[in-house]
Amino acid sequence: MSIRQEVLFKIKSVELDKVKNPKKVSSYFAENTFGIETMRRHISPGTFAAFKAWMSEGKIITLEQANEIANAMKNWAIAKGASYYTHWFQPMTGLTAEKHDSFISITGPGKVIEKFSGNKLIQGEPDASSFPSGGIRATFEARGYTAWDPSSPAFIIESKLGKTLCIPSIFISYHGEALDKKLPLLRSDEALNKSALGLLRLFGRKDVKKVFSTCGPEQEYFLIDKYYYDLRQDLVMAGRTLIGAPSPKGQQLEDQYFGTIKERVVNFMFEVAQEAYKLGIPLMTRHNEVAPHQYEFAPIFEESNLAADHNQLLMELMKKIALRHGLVCLLHEKPFAGINGSGKHLNWSLADDKGNNLLNPGQTPEDNLQFLAVLAAVLRAVHLHADLLRASVAMAGNEHRLGANEAPPAIISVFLGQQLTSILNMIEKGVKSKVSKGDIIDLGMDRLPKFNKDTTDRNRTSPFAFTGTKFEFRAVGSSQNISTPITVINTIIAESLDYVAEKIRKASGGKNFNSAALKVISAIARETKKIRFEGNNYAEEWVKEAGKRSLPNVAATYASLKDLTKEKNIALFEKYKVFSKEELIARYHIWIHMYNLTLEIEANTLKEMVNASVVPAGYEYEKLLAATLHELVSLKKSSGLKLDAAALKDKKEHLSDIIAKIYYVRRNTLAMGRLLERARKMNNEKRAQLYFQELRPLMEHIRKHVDQLECVVSDDAWDLPKYREMLFIK
């Protein structure tokens, strides 16, 4: 029996104590966070007012006030059982990082007290020389600083033996350059705020003080049994299977989507939700996804900065809690070939401090006009900067997903739905015509469109789709930190909001505002036609059609990342103070490097699996075949055993076939070794190109032959868990 077969008997749910009366979520929601209400209860009214002013108007608090908040935060955390604190930050690897310090401070021989100062709250200094900086910091000046981000509440992470206070932070170099994912996001929200306010003022909205982006990321993931996971080097090393024959039953019956959730999985989901609620993460939806053993969590949307922190925390919770249930949570974009991969649909919109969603069509024609102006800005942004949107999701994992036929293609287009499309067409033509009942009531004098807000039609294949009151960017990878895509969306839209405002200002010249606005919207509707697509984005015809429209279709990560360094993009990010040129180029280098490292890990893992698992299993089977053949032939000779000629021929062919397959696999694996050797002499850009153009196809080729072997080699000799087991045994 193979190890794989032995493991089969161990697979079962963990024993859980039944919870008789689960607590109401509202009774413990956010109990482990030092949110604004908790802060208010723990500090003086003066300091609290100062903190609020800092948040709304940017007036920084004094050191005494910071000391008071630090002390309050410490007391609160210690009362909850925390003994350590950490500045929690998001370096450019896309993961989160923490370096823990104890609260203790020595007061005399053998005596300590718990202490936490404002200085320590505001700033930390991890010895951070190993985080990627893309050349921003030389190692000799490797100091990186973490600085408290007061817009995201501190929280407590629990483990079995203790609790840690985590302080959301940004991570910067000695000279103040962003070394993380969060500072650019905060900067982009600031840019968006300014530009959106500019436009709103034009529309007479003087009451609004602040505009910010909102985000609700839908998180897809797989769960598989930990016994299987541990037997798959590829899942452990690379997060995805590098080999594995398709299961006879995949997702073709679509019997999993929204199906009954198995008890084992639902228990996992309950625990994740419970832990998430304690941290103030507003999880809302949970369901089965399309592929077997694929699931989704979606939260209620929040301010982007918070949503990004919460999504990072959620991914960590999911991984941690899965283990408690004997499961492993796979966040890779394409853990299994041939079935759906996982994405993270990024729902994005703009909100003001009065509680309005700026992408919500309004009740009155005037509101609708403002909505259309914002919509036009979005269209223009995507039209001009599709390359940046694509680059914001460029990474090794997502390369398997974008363009595969279950995921949005690498071609960026916008879906608006029938109603909005006809409204835009009408504005463009400036004619009065009925679209459908209730859509357009009045296109009279000022030609103000009136329409209902329930634009319910959906297109599940569009990479950038309008879904009623928000846009949904579907090309984001499931493992990605969402900060970068949000940063890009915020920045490109800030620029277009400025453009729209400026155009309307010029066109109206102080009078006839509505017509001027309509004129600008109409021009944008006309100019952006080529990125609007309402059909099936997965279809081959769309690729052709997009080619005709000369829309870029950048499949390779290296090529897409290169777009970050274009003149126009550097200028854009510099203008909006989101990235300096140096910061942007640094990111380009880091992400190319990460791509290469990912592929090298994959290739080396594949090499080991082929040499140490696949080929030996093949030899084992070869030996079995050769021995039987040998025995039969000698029996024929010694005892005159009657052997059917055709049967004998078949046996020989089968053996030859196995020998040939093993040979192919070995030959290509050796070629892969040589390719990796060759790559070592190349710089990162060349290397990434080589990996995309040659290494990836070679790995696919090896895989094809390995998968054929898997289907013929004796089940007893095959130690690697198979797709049909990992995906269907629950």
Residues forming the site for ligand ADP (CB under 6 A): 214-216, 218, 298-301, 347-349, 357, 467, 469-470
Shortest Cβ distance from residue 339 to ligand ADP (Å)? 22
Q: Are 414 and 375 in contact (CB under 8 A)?
A: no
Q: Which two tokens stand for residue 670?
A: 């050796």
Considering the complex, state which of residue 124 and residue 299 has its C-beta at the smaller distance from ligand ADP: 299
Selection from ligand ADP, Mg ion, none that 463 binds (CB < 5 to 8 A by kind) is: none
Single out the residue of 149, 180, 189, 218 in contact with Mg ion (rule: CB under 5 A).
Answer: 218
* Burial class, 207, CB count within 10 angstroms (exposed 0-12 / middle 13-18 / buried 19+): exposed
Considering the complex, state which of residue 244 and residue 282 has its C-beta at the smaller distance from ligand ADP: 282
Instruction: Tell which residue, 649, 301, 266, 257, has the closest CA to residue 467.
Output: 301
Residue with the CB atom nearest Mg ion in the bound state: 218
Considering the complex, state which of residue 103 and residue 415 has its C-beta at the smaller distance from ligand ADP: 415
Considering the complex, state which of residue 218 and residue 309 has its C-beta at the smaller distance from Mg ion: 218
Instruction: Tell which residue, 614, 634, 629, has the closest CA to residue 708.
Output: 614
Considering the complex, state which of residue 218 and residue 439 has its C-beta at the smaller distance from Mg ion: 218
Instruction: Tell which residue, 672, 676, 681, has the closest CA to residue 706.
Output: 672
Q: Which two tokens stand for residue 264?
A: 């084992």
Query: How do the residues of the chain divide into helix, strand and coil, expressed in percent and rounded to 5?
Result: 50, 15, 35
Selection from ligand ADP, Mg ion, none that 348 binds (CB < 5 to 8 A by kind) is: ligand ADP
Q: Tokens 């103030």 appear where?
A: 280
Spatial distance between the Cα atoms of 283 and 477, rounded to a whole number of angstroms: 19
φ/ψ (deg, to 5) at 319: -65, -45
User: Is residue 472 a contact residue for Mg ion (CB under 5 A)?
Assistant: no
Shortest Cβ distance from residue 296 to Mg ion (Å)? 6
Return the range that interacts with Mg ion (CB under 5 A); candidates 210-218, 231-239, 324-332, 624-632: 210-218
Shortest Cβ distance from residue 329 to Mg ion (Å)? 17
Spatial distance between the Cα atoms of 119 and 624, rounded to a whole number of angstroms: 71
Spatial distance between the Cα atoms of 730 and 727, rounded to a whole number of angstroms: 8
Return the range that interacts with Mg ion (CB under 5 A); candidates 211-219, 579-587, 605-613, 663-671: 211-219
Considering the complex, state which of residue 351 and residue 606 has its C-beta at the smaller distance from ligand ADP: 351
Could you tell me where the beta strands, DSSP code E, fall in 467-598? 471-473
Distance linking the first and last C-alpha atoms of the chain: 21
DSSP 411: B
Considering the complex, state which of residue 180 and residue 218 has its C-beta at the smaller distance from Mg ion: 218
DSSP 219: E
Q: Which two tokens stand for residue 630?
A: 């040998």
Spatial distance between the Cα atoms of 151 and 182, rounded to a whole number of angstroms: 11
User: Is residue 234 a contact residue for Mg ion (CB under 5 A)?
Assistant: no
Considering the complex, state which of residue 67 and residue 214 has its C-beta at the smaller distance from ligand ADP: 214
Shortest Cβ distance from residue 256 to ligand ADP (Å)? 19
Shortest Cβ distance from residue 281 to ligand ADP (Å)? 12
Instruction: Tell which residue, 625, 624, 610, has the closest CA to residue 720.
Output: 610
Shortest Cβ distance from residue 705 to ligand ADP (Å)? 41
Return the range that interacts with Mg ion (CB under 5 A); candidates 59-67, 198-206, 215-223, 581-589: 215-223
Spatial distance between the Cα atoms of 298 and 523, rounded to a whole number of angstroms: 37
Residue with the CB atom nearest ligand ADP in the bound state: 216
Count residues binding Mg ion (CB under 5 A): 1
Considering the complex, state which of residue 463 and residue 721 has its C-beta at the smaller distance from ligand ADP: 463
Shortest Cβ distance from residue 443 to ligand ADP (Å)? 28
Selection from ligand ADP, Mg ion, none that 300 binds (CB < 5 to 8 A by kind) is: ligand ADP
Selection from Mg ion, ligand ADP, none that 343 binds (CB < 5 to 8 A by kind) is: none
Residues that bind Mg ion (CB under 5 A): 218
